[in-house]
Structure 1
Amino acid sequence: MGEKIFGGSNVNEKSILIVDDDKFSRTILKNILSGAGYKIYESQDGDEALKLYRLILPDMIILDVVMPGLSGFDLLRILRDEEENQLVPVILLTSSDDFEEKIHGLELGADAYITKPFNEKELLAQVKNLFQRIEHNRMANPLTGLRGNIDIKYEIRRRIKSGSLYAVLYIDLDNFKAYNDYYGFSRGDKIIKQTSRILKDALFKFGNTNDFLGHIGGDDFIIITTPDRVECICNYIINNFDEDIKRYYDDEDVANGYIEVINRRGEIQRFPFVSISIAVVTNENRKFENELQISAVAAEIKRKLKSMEGSKYLKDRRKS
């Protein structure tokens, strides 16, 4: 099945947008980077580049500073003003060795500078190191090491723009607050970690190479895959979660089949074991314009799931 990297890409899947009004410079960059396995897009000015960027959502931008119309600095400022673009690595190209210019670019949010004429080995090293550093920094959740909300939004936007079929799985735990109140956050964290391991295993066994796994926060996770993989992934998650969860309860509570927690009104309330719910939204029967529309449909499905007992998944099958 080959190596899988969830929420990331190997070098052959990385795309780079080169923005430079000098055709000769673009050609050199394209030959070097495509030869190293990167997918290359080109633009000759800032205005065209902005439109192209929003269409293809590249993994990196190599951006010339001096261009007619929208300059490299102008384009960088526009991109960094949008939250979902803040983690996209940007390398600035310049023919000048002006220190103040470099400081200005870095203050605007550039990640690195390359001075023309550039060395091939230096260029490839800069690109590789920057990708590695960004990948490391994007490990937003300290508990699970999974991607956070900025990357989640970015990935959903990428899938919507691609026009291909996708399925978004919103995953959360039921009765988890009661578990934390009863056993404490330290033991609750162990369930969160185990849940992330089960999700990783599910994608490794049944997912696609470029599937995405993210941690929204708390006990909420997200998987982005394709509709044909949904059933196998969901069944694996549910079966393995239900099989593992009893290990996180004391023997007496396992024997009882529940825990007793005092609620806000001072009453003793019984809670069954923590279970897992999966709301599935796809674009098979309806078209979505943005991640907020997908999230709204998922919220409706979640409300239905909360009225059902035990671990389960529910897929939205309605048409637009």
Structure 2
Amino acid sequence: MTNGEGAEAEVILVVDDDPDILRVVQVNLSLHGYRVLVARSGAEALSLVESQRPDLAIVDLMMPHMDGLELTRRLRADPMVTALPIIVLTAKALTSDKVAGLAAGADDYIVKPFDTSELVARVKATLRRIQEAREVSPLTGLAGNTRIQQEIYDRLHAGTEYAVCYIDIDRFKSVNDAYGFARGDDFISALARSLRRATIAAGLPPAFLGHVGGDDFVVVCHPDQVKPLTTKAVVDFEAAADELYDPVDARRGYLELTDRRGRVHQVNLVTISIGVAVSTARTYRHPSEVVAVASEMKSLAKKHQGSYVAFDRRVERPALPNQRMPETDTAPADDLKP
């Protein structure tokens, strides 16, 4: 669940035996768009967790019968909610209490009495951090779709110029078919490293790199950074890919694949296609619009031989009164092959 306009509110479970604390936390979190569940004991909290599946729990350490440490340990031991983010509340500012909460499995802590603005800020930060951690690709370590969308959204609303590059590997299936998925993962990892080196080399402002999934990646950068960044990525990846092929395939420059009927086909070695959408050409209102155009340009790039970068150069033209918007023009893509 996500918090925001048109989305279902995130659910926060607050566990405290003090009704005044419960009321203050519930009111303040509700004002910030969260749906708040309250429990006055550890046992009540465990029952709620089974039926409600909250997105985050705020747990008081000092409670009778089952204290916050024990509740945190039980939540961490439950495979259904083991990844539930937990913030513990403690009335003591002692380091030992903070350490005990974190050692039990808490993600953060707040000392009572607390400022409500700090509480809300820590809830937001913990939810964001956990969401991003869940979406990080286990193969490449790069941020996933939510972080990619947020990066584009931030640049779109900042009013600064930006470009979105959509990248994937051409004929990637041939690698899996010839060598298996483990070798295919090596090619994906090689592309991730090449793109990372290219984004770092692009300098300032910092370029962003995300992993959509499979062999698909997204780079968000300034328009002036696109050409040097993609040129470096292409050269770097093609050199890295050459080292991943079996020597015989690398020497002859193609793969030999046998289909189900026993026929042998020659398949060219992998390259990459990159589609680029730029904010200077047209006005985008949502990140999905930018990604769609970049993806469209990537499809255009795939129609060309070798690694290729296709820029969207279509420019919006204002429509005259009572006149339909004319069709946009498309300029040829830039071939970056040496």
- TM-score, normalising length: structure 2: 0.61
Instruction: List gaps (5 residues or longer) in structure 2.
Output: 8-23, 57-84, 90-109, 317-338
Alpha-carbon RMSD across the aligned residues, in angstroms, is: 3.8
Is 1:201 paired with 2:197? yes
In structure 2, the residue corresponding to 1:117 is in which secondary structure? coil
Are residues 178 and 107 of structure 1, via their aligned partners in 2, closer, same or farther at CA, if it must alter by over 3 Å?
Answer: closer
How far does residue 313 in structure 1 lie from its aligned partner after superposition?
Answer: 1.1
Distance 1:301 1:290 in 2: 18
Matched, 1:215 2:202: no
- 5 Å matches for 1:215-254? 215-254=211-250
Residue 55 of structure 2 corresponds to 109
Change (3 A) 1:152 1:266: farther
Amino acid at match of 1:234: T
Out of 260, 273, 280, the position equivalent to 1:277 is 273
CA–CA distance in structure 2, aligned partners of residues 76 and 127 of structure 1: 10
CA offsets per residue over residues 245-265 of structure 1, 9 Å max, x none?
Answer: 211112211221111112466
What's the offset of the Cα at 1:174?
0.4
2:148 to 145, 148, 152: 152
Partner residue, 2:26: 65
CA distance in 1, matches of 2:202, 2:180: 34
Q: In the alignment, residue 27 of structure 2 is paired with which amino acid?
A: V
Q: Aligned in 2, Cα 1:297/1:310: closer, same or farther, shift over 3 Å?
A: same
Report if aligned partners of 1:169, 1:223 keep a CA contact under 8 Å in 2: yes
CA distance 1:161–1:136, shift in 2 (3 Å): closer
Identity of aligned residues (%): 36
Per the TM alignment, residue 244 of structure 1 is displaced from its structure 2 partner at its CA by: 2.0
| Deviation of 1:307 (Å) | 1.0
- Pairing 1:188–2:184 present: yes
* Letter of the 2:155 counterpart: R
In the TM superposition, 1:1-150 aligns within 5 A as: 65-66=26-27, 72=30, 75-77=33-35, 98-99=40-41, 103=45, 108-110=54-56, 111=85, 112=87, 114=110, 117-118=113-114, 130=126, 134=130, 137-138=133-134, 140-150=136-146
Greater share of residues in helix:
1
* Aligned counterpart for 1:261 among listed residues 249, 257, 261: 257
Structure 2 letter corresponding to 1:165: E
- Following the alignment from structure 2 to structure 1, what is the Cα–Cα distance between the partners of residues 186 and 173? 14
- TM-score, normalized by length of structure 1? 0.64
- Three-state SS of the structure 1 residue aligned to 2:164 is strand
Letter in 2 for 1:161: H
- The runs of at least 4 consecutive aligned structure 1 residues that moved more than 4 Å come to 96-100, 102-108, 113-116, 122-129
Residues 233 and 127 of structure 1, relative CA distance in 2, 3 Å threshold: same
Partner Cα separation in structure 2 for residue 65 and residue 212 of structure 1: 36
Residue identity opposite 2:55 in structure 1: G
- Distance in structure 2 (CA, Å) of the matches to 1:216 and 1:239: 22
Alpha-carbon displacement from aligned partner over 1:43-99 (angstroms, at most 9, x marks no partner)? xxxxxx978xx9xxxxxxxx95316xxx7177114xxxxxxxxxxxxxx9xxx9955
| Offset at residue 230 of structure 1 (A) | 0.8
